[in-house]
Amino acid sequence: MANAHARSGMTMLEGVHFNFDDAAQRLGLDPAIQTLLKIPYRQVQVEVPIYRDNGQLEVYRGYRVQHDGARGPYKGGIRYHPEANMEEVQALASIMTWKTALVNLPFGGAKGGVTCNPRELSQAELERLTRTFTQRIDLIIGVYNDIPAPDMNTNAQTMAWMMDEYERRHGYSPGIVTGKPIDLGGSKCREQATGQGVAICSREAMKRLGETLEGKTVVVQGFGNVGSNTARFHAKSGAKVIAVSDVEGGILNPGGFDVDALIAWKNDRKPLADYPGAKRITNDELLAMSCDILIPCALGHVIHEGNASSVNAKMIVEGANAPLIPTVDKGLKERGILVVPDVLANAGGVTVSYFEWAQNVQQHAWTEAQIEAELESIMCEAFGNVYNRAAGSDLTLRQSAYMIGIERVARARQLRGI
Ligand code: NAD
């Protein structure tokens, strides 16, 4: 499978640095502070040896990057993917720094990953991989230091293994990870939170255009945690989800899918492509579909110089991290396509992760109503800040979002003293 660079001619890190440099220059940040904010605070690469089920020893590479911790403990997910590498993890850790600052959480930014193909690993092998990786990064994570969460190909079960492995050495520490099963101290609403936040952003963006989500056509790439919940919350708001896809390809139903039935189909481990009554399409066709809202929720840099001109949506909301190469923003803006950037659009996940962590350290569970109300309030405030800063200027929402995030982190850094 091609990586972000092969897809777009730009690595994820080059893309993040492009956005950072642009915003930092607009803010007039001191060049030395720019360098400080660009380079990660700490990064580790570890070997992750496990015995496969057939008795063979296999050694994987794992990474944890702590990008910036001026505003609080490092926070970011763990990704299992054949494309995962140190540079990509650096890029994703940096995105986390600007995202947590933008939604004003008391966290810094981090990310982790293991280069592996989880589709080739059994549950027992995934458990051994997770436990060994956790042992190897044990020295640098901690409830008040660095808190992992799920990302691509990791889930609540992965977090349960991480927590259990960490607790073998450190005792009861549910706040060491977020995105855990509720039975182990996880939060209500965490699993759906990223998709819910994406839908809040779509609704707020439509509101600014004087419209609602009712009847709007929505196309979603990726049908994992973020994609399936994004589709569900859009459908709940009256939008019509007309196409979805996963790694195998996509399906189209111009009349709109019954998203709950689609999720049940996926949960039964049936291929999306075999879903009855739908037309099969490729991921490339999906990205070029005529629709009101296109929501990429899978890999990075899927929209690039080679295919941006064929995007036929009125709005793009970035459920995934860095699904657009930054150089296409200008052309999309000129065509009147509003782009809601990842640091804002998918921040619902880390926001409810923060609620989970707060519940763990308080040892007090919040109600669903409380979580939903606080998520709504944080996302709307962040959306408003980003939108208002861009309004009446030539800034894209991405430039505005990066400027707000970077400004806050730079201020925290300076207040602490270098
Ligand atoms: P996931 O593993 O649950 O789902 C990923 C989905 O993408 C799957 O449906 C998979 O089949 C599909 N996919 C993989 N390769 C693809 C390809 N080449 N073309 C089309 N589809 C492909 O992962 P997730 O947790 O939903 O994360 C998706 C994205 O959202 C990632 O960029 C991640 O960093 C970002 N994100 C996740 C969270 C979270 O809370 N899980 C929060 C913020 C951002």
Q: Give the closest residue (by CA) to ligand 1 atom 36.
A: 320
Report whether residue 346 contacts ligand 1, using a CB cutoff of 6 Å: yes
Report whether residue 194 contacts ligand 1, using a CB cutoff of 6 Å: yes
- CATH number, position 276: 3.40.50.720
Note whether residue 285 is domain-resident.
yes
Note whether residue 164 is domain-resident.
yes
Tens-binned pLDDT, residue by residue, of the chain (418 aa): 458 888 889 999 999 999 999 999 999 999 999 999 999 999 999 999 999 999 999 999 999 999 999 999 999 999 999 989 999 999 999 999 999 999 999 999 999 999 999 999 999 999 999 999 999 999 999 999 999 999 999 999 999 999 999 999 999 999 999 999 999 999 999 999 999 999 999 999 999 999 999 999 999 999 999 999 999 999 999 999 999 999 999 999 999 999 999 999 999 999 999 999 999 999 999 999 999 999 999 999 999 999 999 999 999 999 999 999 999 999 999 999 999 999 999 999 999 999 999 999 999 999 999 999 999 999 999 999 999 999 999 999 999 999 999 999 999 999 999 7
Reference 368, options 194, 187, 195; nearest CA is 187
Report whether residue 349 contacts ligand 1, using a CB cutoff of 6 Å: yes
* 161 C-alpha to ligand 1 centroid (Å): 21
Quote the CA–CA distance of 296 and 294 in Å, as a whole number: 7
Report whether residue 245 contacts ligand 1, using a CB cutoff of 6 Å: yes
Residues 46, 148 within the same domain: yes
Q: Where does a domain end: 345, 365, 391?
A: 345
Residues 158, 236 within the same domain: no
pLDDT of residue 394: 95
Quote the CA–CA distance of 151 and 261 in Å, as a whole number: 24
Residues 201, 114 within the same domain: no
Our mutation pick for probing the ligand 1 site, out of 281, 297, 301, counting the most ligand atoms within 8 A of Cβ, is 297
* Residue 256 one-letter amino acid: G
* 297 C-alpha to ligand 1 centroid (Å): 5
Q: Give the closest residue (by CA) to ligand 1 atom 15.
A: 247
pLDDT of residue 2: 59
Active site residue 266: no
Which atom of ligand 1 is closest in space to residue 79's alpha carbon? 34
* 296 C-alpha to ligand 1 centroid (Å): 9
Report whether residue 247 contacts ligand 1, using a CB cutoff of 6 Å: yes
Q: Where does a domain end: 314, 345, 376?
A: 345
Q: Where does a domain end: 117, 143, 172?
A: 172
Residues 200, 158 within the same domain: no
Q: pTM of this prediction?
A: 0.97
Note whether residue 409 is domain-resident.
no
pLDDT of residue 153: 96
Could you say which of 75, 99, 111, 314 is catalytic?
Answer: 111
Quote the CA–CA distance of 194 and 180 in Å, as a whole number: 15
Which atom of ligand 1 is closest in space to residue 150's alpha carbon? 41
Region of residue 82 (phi > 0: left; psi between -120 and 50: alpha; otherwise: beta):
alpha
Note whether residue 353 is domain-resident.
no
Report whether residue 324 contacts ligand 1, using a CB cutoff of 6 Å: no
* 342 C-alpha to ligand 1 centroid (Å): 13
Angle between helices 225-236 and 259-267 (to 10 degrees): 160
Angle between helices 86-102 and 348-362 (to 10 degrees): 80
Residues 325, 225 within the same domain: yes
Report whether residue 319 contacts ligand 1, using a CB cutoff of 6 Å: yes
Note whether residue 398 is domain-resident.
no
Report whether residue 12 contacts ligand 1, using a CB cutoff of 6 Å: no
- CATH number, position 137: 3.40.50.10860
Which atom of ligand 1 is closest in space to residue 353's alpha carbon? 40
Residues 104, 205 within the same domain: no
Strand partners, 211: none
Strand partners, 62: 46, 114
Residue 315's domain spans which residues? 193-345
Cα angle at 265 between 270 and 300, to 5 degrees? 75
Q: Match 């949960």 to its residue by tokens.
A: 267
Quote the CA–CA distance of 200 and 216 in Å, as a whole number: 14
Residues 273, 341 within the same domain: yes
Q: Give the closest residue (by CA) to ligand 1 atom 31.
A: 320
Q: Give the closest residue (by CA) to ligand 1 atom 13.
A: 247
Residues 112, 56 within the same domain: yes
Q: Give the closest residue (by CA) to ligand 1 atom 3.
A: 224
Three-state SS annotation for the chain: CCCHHHHHCCCHHHHHHHHHHHHHHHHCCCHHHHHHHHCCCEEEEEEEEEECCCCCEEEEEEEEEEEECCCCCEEEEEEEECCCCHHHHHHHHHHHHHHHHHCCCCCCEEEEEEECCHHHCCHHHHHHHHHHHHHHHCCCCECCCEEEEECCCCCHHHHHHHHHHHHHHHCCCHHHCCCCCHHHCCCCCHHHHHHHHHHHHHHHHHHHCCCCCCCCEEEEECCCHHHHHHHHHHHHCCCEEEEEEECCEEEECCCCCCHHHHHHHHHCCCCHHHCCCCEEECHHHHHCCCEEEEEECCCCCCECCCCHHHCCEEEEECCCCCCECHHHHHHHHHCCCEEECHHHHCCHHHHHHHHHHHHHHHCCCCCHHHHHHHHHHHHHHHHHHHHHHHCCCCCCHHHHHHHHHHHHHHHHHHHHCC
Report whether residue 226 contacts ligand 1, using a CB cutoff of 6 Å: yes
Residues 152, 206 within the same domain: no
Note whether residue 225 is domain-resident.
yes
Report whether residue 224 contacts ligand 1, using a CB cutoff of 6 Å: yes
* 300 C-alpha to ligand 1 centroid (Å): 9
Note whether residue 383 is domain-resident.
no
Note the residue count of the chain.
Answer: 418
Residues 209, 135 within the same domain: no
pLDDT of residue 3: 81
Note whether residue 366 is domain-resident.
no
Domain count, the chain: 2
Which atom of ligand 1 is closest in space to residue 154's alpha carbon? 2
pLDDT of residue 386: 98
Residues 71, 151 within the same domain: yes
Residues 55, 159 within the same domain: yes
Q: Give the closest residue (by CA) to ligand 1 atom 35.
A: 320
Q: Is 362 exposed, middle or buried (0-12, 13-18, 19+ CB in 10 A)?
A: exposed
Report whether residue 341 contacts ligand 1, using a CB cutoff of 6 Å: no
